[in-house]
């Protein structure tokens, strides 16, 4: 009887020890994987750019997006992170005068570039005409998408003035017709969950004369 109890006790201890060893191995593996994801000196580099008219130099993880660099390192939180997949337009900024989805662009790609965020377009005391038009026409509700909408709208006016066609442009070789359909097509990459689209169109039409 004593022998059986000893064997049962030993077997129980063996199973417990085995289970603990498996857990320890899993924890170690996860910790190792997490450590690999942390920024290392090998993944760091320096990038210089001009943001809202101010020269900046940042030492960043080479995998960091322009969106995260603007928000986390420069504390310019006007630019919003929405879908993080380039589908909603909330992160739209202007790079060398051209609008882009900053969530799809690595910060390291913008060495020497001029970046303009919503903070660089205007201030509450001295608003850009497009910002003033959005306020006048209530081109927002929750306001989350508004910075991207405004940055994109400013670029839309410039694109149309330059004669750059869209998928609905009637004349591909001359002046682009300034219609609501044309504006909607060009702004289709900027989504507004609140549905303020009609007011946004009104704001862009209003700002056209001041742009």
**CATH number, residue 111:** 3.10.20.30
Do 48 and 109 lie in one domain? The reply is yes
Query: Is the residue at 97 inside a domain?
Result: yes
pLDDT for 131 equals 97
Do 56 and 104 lie in one domain? The reply is yes
* pTM confidence score: 0.78
pLDDT for 41 equals 67
Do 137 and 203 lie in one domain? The reply is yes
Q: Which of 120, 137, 169 is the last residue of a domain?
A: 120
pLDDT for 26 equals 66
Query: Is the residue at 4 inside a domain?
Result: no
For residues 204 and 153, the answer to whether their CB atoms sit within 8 Å is: yes
CATH number of domain containing 155? 1.10.150.120
pLDDT for 6 equals 47
Do 54 and 110 lie in one domain? The reply is yes
Do 59 and 115 lie in one domain? The reply is yes
pLDDT for 140 equals 93
Do 51 and 102 lie in one domain? The reply is yes
Domains: count for the chain: 2
Do 54 and 76 lie in one domain? The reply is yes
Query: Is the residue at 188 inside a domain?
Result: yes
For residues 48 and 110, the answer to whether their CB atoms sit within 8 Å is: no
Q: In the chain, which residues have pLDDT < 50? A: 2, 4, 6-7
pLDDT for 176 equals 83
pLDDT for 178 equals 87
Do 141 and 179 lie in one domain? The reply is yes
Query: Is the residue at 101 inside a domain?
Result: yes
Which residue segment(s) compose the domain that 84 sits in? 41-120
Query: Is the residue at 25 inside a domain?
Result: no
């Amino acid at each position: 009887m004593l022998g059986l109890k000893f064997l049962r006790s030993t077997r129980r201890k063996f199973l417990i020890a085995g289970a603990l060893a498996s857990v320890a191995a899993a924890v170690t593996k996860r910790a190792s994987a997490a450590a690999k994801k942390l920024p290392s000196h090998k993944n760091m580099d320096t990038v210089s750019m001009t943001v809202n008219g101010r020269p900046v130099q940042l030492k960043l993880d080479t995998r960091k997006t322009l969106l995260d660099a603007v928000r986390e390192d420069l504390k310019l939180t006007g630019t919003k992170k929405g879908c993080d997949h380039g589908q909603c337009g909330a992160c739209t900024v202007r790079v060398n005068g051209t609008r882009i989805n900053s969530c799809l662009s690595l910060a390291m790609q913008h060495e020497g570039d001029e970046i303009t965020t919503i903070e660089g377009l205007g201030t509450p005391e001295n608003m850009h005409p497009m910002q003033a038009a959005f306020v006048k026409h209530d081109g927002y509700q929750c306001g989350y998408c508004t910075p991207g909408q405004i940055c994109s709208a400013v670029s839309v006016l410039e694109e149309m003035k330059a004669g750059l066609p869209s998928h609905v442009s009637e004349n591909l070789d001359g002046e682009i017709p300034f219609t609501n359909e044309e504006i909607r097509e060009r702004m289709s990459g900027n989504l507004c969950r609140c549905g303020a689209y009609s007011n946004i169109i009104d704001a862009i039409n209003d700002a056209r004369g001041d742009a």
